């Protein structure tokens, strides 16, 4: 019998472990279309929870949802030079609008249906939404415009990995227009804070809020802020970005308004997004060698009740007990809603069933057999704690469920923060830097002085490292750039990254 | 001053009135991409309510959400002959995955990035989801599979019309797999009932549940059920369809399972969907010559509070009164959630502001000026009733709000049902049929005996009419087909249609 439910373990082969967790937890699978995945019900239910909780936060900060076209005329991409540079090399291009029988059998794109102008499947929507904003904005009275859209986007990635990097992915993209640079910058920062709040308090994933270096900026942005998390293999994951676009896109798309003095001015815009990549972040932050571990706030079910019986008599008594326990648990609340309970009465081996729920990462398993019914008890196992679980009086499980879930949520955060903090090191010389990231060293997050220039970028690239960000809460501190020796005032965070 | 807020009125030019309502109510607008629309926040908020309420109904009937790829390999479409026939002529075809600079300036699809097999942007997902089901289904123990997906789809329509027929639209598509024909047929019927329940009890739109004739069936289906509604111009709208696919798609895609006896059998599948077309149905069912009218259950806001004041002193008193009224109204519930209240304190002319809310179709407007504050009153106008509104004690508005909204919901349904019933006629001869649908006659729903054959189809086509459905609750009754004189046992419903 293997010591863990997932083979290989994290230590044996982290990338393969990641794929196996996704499979064992029924989160997703590869599809028949290159680079596109099928998100299975359990994985999609996690995404739905992410969506709903983030959406509430967006609405609470004054944003409304809307929907813009999937397709972008090719000429729109040409308008912003950096933007096209960033996206033209990896996009799905629609060139025809009809199929016809191929003389050789099968189908082919009908030559007569060739589009005058090709359409790009949106890789991001700044250009198509900007064209709409240009029509909507005339006066400062029309501003700000604060919109968000939940949508699918396509980037033709060559190396794909489920959730982390797929050709098609699901995301939200916020797009806002403002009458001043200050207001747009405040919006950019506000949404970064929303993302950090969500990551830490809903995903239980500690993050660093920071500013991207020039080489890592969104194509066309003046400034890109991001949240960065550390995965269990000590590689960093960019989990969300918020861009101050200045007047770049407004100029490219002619978004102008008459200000209070009657002057015609280009507006200031922002955009910000998170995607199904967050599910990848959840897995790599919390899952273990037995499979997925889901923070309670995002779990599709908080409790899985697993009835155990040998014959029809036992079945009736056990199921009736389970039904009433389910109702009692559901009458309790967690995170502002009813506790979510799944009673799993499928006809399969008890051990297989139990391990399926372990691998799926449900926070609490409640096993109930005839003896538990007699003793008014339940055998409770917590997914965040090793060990076999324990018999618990039924009333205690119900009364404590809210606290238990809150404690688990905190516990997962603390565990991840501990790992992250232990792997975060201030490094002050190139020699130490190279040692820290040597092939046989564990690596982590290096906090080092630097000057943001092409020489640094080149050295990092050669080492397969990236500048993650300059932390917003970093202290101003005099030092020397470890790459060039030049004077520096701030430390950046460097790491291997997804 | 015009007699109505919308020009032209329904009587003057119904199609143009429809476009003007969409514009005046801020529901949507055309985009820079042929046939694709921008759904604006007020329109999208209606769609979000439709989504959430339908989603709850799907989950209550045991369905789970998942997500499948946007793209379908061209070869997948070829597998089901009728299906390809139905969709090949109107689809967006992706042929390249990269752009490059065009020697003439601008961009072009990079010839080196041509795909070996073109990808189709999904017009519907039976084929790509079926390919996945083929992997998932081995034994009867794997069945049923009950899935739904919320997604965008693309059909390259030549004549588009906002919400009713657009190249890209948003929808949900349910896809299920069953171990017997009976079970799949029961699912098909169940989802039709869910749609009818939603249409009548949430959209306040009366519908006929029926079976499609052969010519109107979904390409590849054995049987298509639909709900049909009558719009105010007495044209019918197909508002939702539920398909029994028999073993057709299972055969084309090799979805096989080992049944209880160990025999390998093709499974039975269903699919069912509704789309943003429902928003078009809402408009054409309820809107009037002053703009949109939204049934309370789907209204993004139930009450718009409109403060009126002339100076800062008045402003403070009026706004404080409005704030507390808002809180009191929000403490009331309707349809299982808090009453939704929008306090509109924008700096614009009172008349313009009021008319904006009329045109947007908010159920209740509450205007409040200094005199109302003194008298503890509020000037209340209901969108479903003509006339100027009336002064109402504040307490009465609050105590009655739940009843009032419920009454409005019912009132809108009754009004639509009355129109529909008045325009529904049993017709027993071709002569009367031709009179009923003459160019200068109002038309409506003709209930006539018929035999479902190509001769009938041809005659209907020549008259620009369609067979809508054979009502499921229709009585068996002997008669003669009005088209051919042949014996018939059931009446069908015939109409002009969208």
Q: Is pLDDT of A1 > 50?
A: no
Pairwise CB contact (< 8 Å): B38 & A170 = no
- Burial of residue A304 (number of CB atoms within 10 Å: 0-12, 13-18, 19+): buried
Q: Are residues A473 and A368 in the same domain?
A: no
Query: Does residue A295 sit within a domain?
Result: no
Query: Is residue A29 scored above 80 in pLDDT?
Result: yes
Number of independent structural domains in chain B: 3
Of all residues in chain A, the percent with pLDDT exceeding 70 is 100
- Stated as kind and residue range, the H or E segment containing A466 is strand A466-471
Instruction: Over range A361-389, report the average pLDDT.
Output: 95
Nearest-by-Cβ selection for B48 from A29, A65, A156: A65
Residue B449 lies in a domain: yes
Alpha carbons B94 and B71: distance in angstroms, whole number:
9
Put simply, the answer to whether B32 touches A128 (Cβ < 8 Å) is: yes
Q: What residues in A contact B275, CB-CB < 8 Å?
A: none
pLDDT band at B237 (very low <50, low <70, confident <90, very high): very high
Question: Could you tell me which residues come within 8 angstroms of residue A346 by beta carbon, excluding any fewer than 6 positions away?
Answer: A353
**Range with the poorest average pLDDT among A44-53, A80-89, A148-157, B359-368:** A80-89
Beta-ladder partners of A365: A304, A381
Q: Are residues B99 and B213 in the same domain?
A: yes
Nearest CA in chain A to B276: A67
- B76 CB neighbours in chain A (<8 A) are 32
- Select from A40, A48, A67 the residue whose CB has the most chain B CBs within 10 Å, as the one to mutate to test that interface: A67
If asked whether residues B157 and B231 sit together in one domain, one would say yes
- In chain B, the residue whose alpha carbon lies closest to the alpha carbon of A109 is B93
Q: What does the mean pLDDT of chain B come to?
A: 96
Question: Is B66 in contact with A44 (Cβ distance < 8 A)?
Answer: yes
Residue of A23, A38, A154 for testing the chain B interface, max B β-carbons within 10 Å: A38
Nearest in space to B134 (alpha carbons), one of B247, B47, B51: B247
Is the CB of B151 less than 8 angstroms away from the CB of A154?
no
> CA angle at residue A11 from A8 to A16, to 5 degrees?
40
Q: Would the pLDDT of B1 be above 80?
A: no
Domain boundary among A402, A419, A436: A419
Per-residue pLDDT of A193-246, as tens digits, reads 999 999 999 999 999 999 999 999 999 999 999 999 999 999 999 999 999 999
* pLDDT level of residue B2 (50, 70, 90 thresholds): low
The CATH number that applies at residue B221 is 3.30.930.10
CB contact under 8 A, B67 and A170: yes
Q: Which residues pair with A244 in a beta bridge?
A: A223, A270
Q: Is there a domain that residue B295 lies in? A: no
DSSP lists the bridge partners of residue A212 as none
Task: Please say if the pLDDT value at position A282 is more than 90.
Answer: yes
DSSP secondary structure letters along A201-230 = HTS----EEEE--GGGS-TT-SEEEEEEEE
**What percent of chain A has a predicted confidence (pLDDT) above 90?**
93
Domain boundary among B403, B432, B454: B403
**Residue B286: what pLDDT?**
98
Establish if B419 belongs to a structural domain. Answer: no
- For residue A392, being part of any structural domain is answered with yes
Residue B213 domain-assigned (yes or no): yes
Q: Contact A38/B151, CB-based, under 8 Å? A: no
Radius of gyration of chain A (CA): 26
Are A235 and A443 within 8 A, CB to CB?
A: yes
Domain end among A379, A397, A419: A419
A164-179 average pLDDT score: 98
Q: Compute the count of residue pairs across chains A and B with CB atoms less than 8 Å apart.
A: 194
Indicate whether B258 and B392 sit together in one domain.
Answer: no
> How far apart, in whole angstroms, are the C-alpha atoms of residue B236 and residue B152?
24
Task: Residue B195: give the domain boundaries.
Answer: 26-286
pLDDT classification of B268: cutoffs 50, 70, 90: very high
Name the token pair of A340.
Answer: 């979510």
- C-alpha A58/C-alpha A147 separation (Å) is 9
Confidence of residue B367 (pLDDT cuts 50, 70, 90): very high
What pLDDT shows up at residue B79? 82
> Higher confidence at residue B387 or residue A388?
A388
What is the mean predicted confidence (pLDDT) over B160-179? 97
Q: Other CB atoms closer than 10 Å to residue B190's CB: what's the count?
A: 16
**Sequence-ordered strand ranges (E) for A207-343:** 208-211, 223-230, 236-244, 256-258, 264-266, 268-275, 303-307, 333-334, 337-338, 341-343
Give the tokens for residue B406.
Answer: 């419920």
* A72 vs B235: CA distance, rounded Å: 34
Q: How far is CA A301 from CA A45, A46, A348, A415, A467, in A?
A: 9, 10, 20, 22, 38
Structure-model confidence comparison of residues A81 and A87, the more confident one: A87
* CA A345 – CA A326 distance, rounded (Å): 13
Q: Would you say the C-alpha torsion A39, A42, A43, A46 has a positive or negative sign?
A: positive
Q: Which residues of B touch A120 (CB under 8 A)?
A: 99
Give the model's pLDDT for residue B256: 98
Residue A2 pLDDT class (50, 70, 90 cuts): low
Site of tokens 């398993």: A365
CB contact under 8 A, A38 and B99: no
B170 and B199 both lie in a single domain: yes
Q: For residue B17, say if its preceding peptide bond is cis, omega within 30 degrees of 0.
A: no
A152: nearest CB among B38, B70, B89: B70
Confidence (pLDDT) at B407: 98
pLDDT of B320 higher than 50:
yes
Identify all chain A residues contacting B64, using CB atoms and an 8 Å cutoff: 41, 44-45
Q: How many other C-beta atoms lie within 10 A of the C-beta of residue A373?
A: 21
Q: Would the pLDDT of A256 be above 50?
A: yes
Q: Which of B249, B227, B256 is nearest to B420 (CA)?
A: B227
With a cut of 50, say whether residue A385 has pLDDT above it: yes
Q: Are residues B103 and B233 in the same domain?
A: yes
The tokens for A325 are 């326990």
Alpha carbons B288 and B3: distance in angstroms, whole number: 12
Q: How confident is the model at residue B322 (pLDDT cuts 50, 70, 90)?
A: very high
Q: Which of A79, A107, A126 to mutate to test the interface with B (most CBs of B within 10 A)?
A: A107
Residues B70, A107: C-beta atoms closer than 8 Å: no
Q: Which residues of chain B does A78 touch, with a Cβ-Cβ cutoff of 8 Å? A: 106-107
| Nearest residue, CB atoms, A33 vs list B47, B69, B95 | B69
Q: Mean of the pLDDT values across residues B436-450?
A: 96
Give the one of A31, A41, A97 whose C-beta lies nearest to B65's C-beta: A41
Q: Looking at chain A, which residue has its C-alpha nearest residue B38?
A: A68
> What digits encode the pLDDT tens for the residues A437-477?
999 999 999 999 999 999 999 999 999 999 999 999 988 99
Residue B360 shares a structural domain with residue B465: no
Compare CB distances from B41 to A41, A64, A89 and report the shortest one's residue.
A64
Q: Predicted confidence band at A347 (pLDDT cuts at 50, 70, 90)? A: confident
The ipTM estimated for the assembled molecules is 0.96
What is the CATH classification number for the domain harbouring A475? 3.30.110.30
Task: Calculate ∠ Cα B355-B356-B359, nearest 5°.
Answer: 85
Q: Please report the DSSP string for B447-490 in residue order.
A: EEE---SHHHHHHHHHTT-EEEEEETTPPP--EE-TTT--EESS
- Give chain B's radius of gyration (CA, Å): 26
Which positions ≥6 away from B192 have C-beta within 8 Å? B209, B225, B226, B227, B240, B242, B272, B472
Nearest to A33 among B36, B71, B141 (CB): B71
* Closest by Cβ to A36, choosing from B66, B69, B131: B69
Same domain, A268 and A342: no
Give residue B118's pLDDT.
97
The nearest CA of chain A is from the CA of B109 a distance in Å of 7
CA distance B10 to chain A (A): 27
**Helix boundaries (H) for A361-437:** 370-375, 394-422, 430-436
Q: Look up the CATH number of the domain holding residue A319.
A: 3.40.50.800
**Would you place residue B129 in the very low, low, confident or very high pLDDT band (cuts 50, 70, 90)?**
very high
Q: Do B107 and A36 touch (CB under 8 A)?
A: no
Tell me whether residues B168 and A71 touch, CB distance under 8 A: yes
Same domain (yes/no): A154, A274 = yes
The pLDDT of residue A378: 98
Residue B151: its chain A contacts at CB < 8 A?
Answer: 152
- Best residue of B46, B70, B106 to probe chain A, by most A CBs closer than 10 Å: B70
- Of the partner residues B45, B106, B131, the one whose CB lies closest to the CB of residue A32: B131
Distance in Å, alpha carbon of B296 to nearest chain A alpha carbon: 20
Give residue A86's pLDDT band: very low, low, confident or very high (50, 70, 90): confident
pLDDT for the residue numbered B127: 93
Residues 6+ apart with CB under 8 A from A67: A149, A151, B38, B39, B44, B47, B170
Looking at the DSSP assignment, which residues form a beta bridge with residue B100? Answer: B108
Q: Give the separation between CA B441 and CA B464, rounded to whole angstroms.
A: 14
Q: What's the CA gap between A93 and B114, in Å, rounded?
A: 10
Candidates A94, A276, A348: best to mutate against B (most CBs of B within 10 A) is A94
Decide if B88 and A69 are in contact by the 8 Å CB cutoff: no
For the record, the structure tokens of A411 come out as: 């516990």
Question: CA of B148: which chain A residue's CA is closest?
Answer: A41
Q: Give A479 to chain B, closest Cα distance, Å.
A: 43
Q: Kind of pairing, strands B256-258 and B264-266?
A: antiparallel
Kindly list the distances between the CA atom of residue A344 and the CA atoms of A292, A314, A349, B270, in Å, as whole numbers in the listed order: 18, 16, 12, 26
| Lowest-confidence region among B71-85, B133-147, B270-284, B373-387 | B71-85
Pair B66, B102 in one domain: yes
A45 and B37 within 8 Å at the Cβ level: the answer is no
Same domain? B281 vs B306 = no
Mutate to test the interface with B, among A32, A115, A152 (most CBs of B within 10 A): A32
Sign of the Cα pseudo-torsion (A195, A62, B279, B422, in order) = positive
Looking at the structure, tell me whether residues B362 and B307 fall in a common domain.
yes
Above 80 in pLDDT, residue A81?
no
Q: Is residue A332 assigned to a domain?
A: yes
Q: Using one digit for the tens of pLDDT, what is the confidence trace for A111-134?
A: 999 999 999 999 999 999 999 999
Nearest by CB to residue A44, choosing from B40, B65, B113, is B65
pTM of the prediction?
0.97
- C-alpha dihedral, B239 to B178 to B253 to B272, nearest 10°: 10
Residue B228: closest CA among B287, B277, B184: B277
In a domain, A1, yes or no: no
pLDDT in tens, A309-323: 999 999 999 999 999
């Amino acid at each position: 019998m293997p010591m863990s439910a997932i083979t290989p373990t994290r230590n044996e082969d982290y990338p393969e472990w990641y794929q196996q967790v996704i499979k064992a937890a029924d989160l997703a699978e590869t599809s028949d279309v290159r680079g596109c995945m099928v998100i299975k019900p359990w994985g999609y239910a996690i995404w739905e929870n992410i969506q709903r909780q983030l959406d509430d936060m967006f609405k609470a900060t004054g944003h409304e949802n809307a929907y813009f076209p999937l397709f972008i005329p090719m000429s729109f991409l040409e308008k912003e030079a950096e933007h096209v540079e960033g996206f033209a090399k990896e996009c799905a291009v629609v060139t025809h609008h009809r199929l016809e029988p191929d003389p050789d059998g099968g189908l082919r794109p009908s030559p007569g249906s060739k589009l005058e102008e090709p359409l790009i499947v949106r890789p991001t929507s700044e250009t198509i939404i900007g064209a709409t904003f240009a029509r909507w904005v005339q006066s400062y009275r029309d501003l700000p415009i604060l919109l968000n859209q939940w949508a699918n986007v396509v980037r033709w990635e060559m190396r794909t990995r489920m959730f982390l990097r797929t050709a098609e992915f699901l995301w939200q993209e916020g797009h806002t227009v403002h009458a001043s640079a200050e207001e747009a910058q405040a919006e950019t920062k506000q949404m970064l804070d929303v993302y950090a709040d969500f990551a830490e308090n809903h995903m239980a994933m500690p993050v660093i809020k920071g500013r991207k270096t020039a080489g890592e900026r969104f194509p066309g942005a003046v400034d890109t802020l991001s949240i960065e998390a550390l995965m269990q293999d000590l590689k960093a994951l960019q989990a969300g970005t918020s861009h101050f676009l200045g007047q770049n896109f407004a100029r490219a798309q002619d978004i102008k308004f008459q200000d209070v003095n009657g002057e015609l001015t280009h507006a200031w815009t922002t955009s910000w997004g998170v995607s199904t990549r967050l599910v990848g972040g959840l897995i790599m932050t919390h899952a273990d060698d037995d499979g997925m571990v889901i923070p309670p706030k995002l779990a599709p079910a908080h409790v899985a009740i697993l009835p155990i019986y040998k014959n029809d008599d036992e079945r009736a008594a056990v199921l009736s007990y389970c039904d009433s326990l389910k109702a009692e648990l559901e009458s309790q609340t967690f995170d502002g809603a009813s506790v979510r309970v799944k009673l799993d009465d499928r006809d399969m081996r008890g051990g297989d069933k139990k391990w399926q729920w372990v691998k799926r990462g449900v926070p609490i398993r409640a096993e109930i057999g005839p003896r538990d019914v007699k003793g008014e008890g339940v055998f409770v196992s917590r997914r965040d704690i090793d060990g076999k679980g324990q018999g618990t009086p039924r009333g205690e499980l119900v009364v404590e469920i809210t606290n238990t879930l809150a404690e688990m949520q905190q516990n997962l955060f603390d565990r991840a923060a501990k790992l992250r903090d232990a792997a975060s090191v201030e490094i002050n010389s190139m020699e130490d830097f190279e040692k820290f990231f040597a092939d046989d060293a564990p690596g982590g997050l290096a906090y080092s002085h630097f000057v943001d220039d092409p020489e640094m970028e080149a050295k990092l690239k050669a080492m397969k490292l990236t500048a993650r960000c300059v932390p917003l809460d970093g202290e101003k501190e005099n030092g020397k750039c470890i790459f060039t020796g030049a004077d520096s005032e701030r430390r950046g965070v460097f790491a291997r990254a997804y």
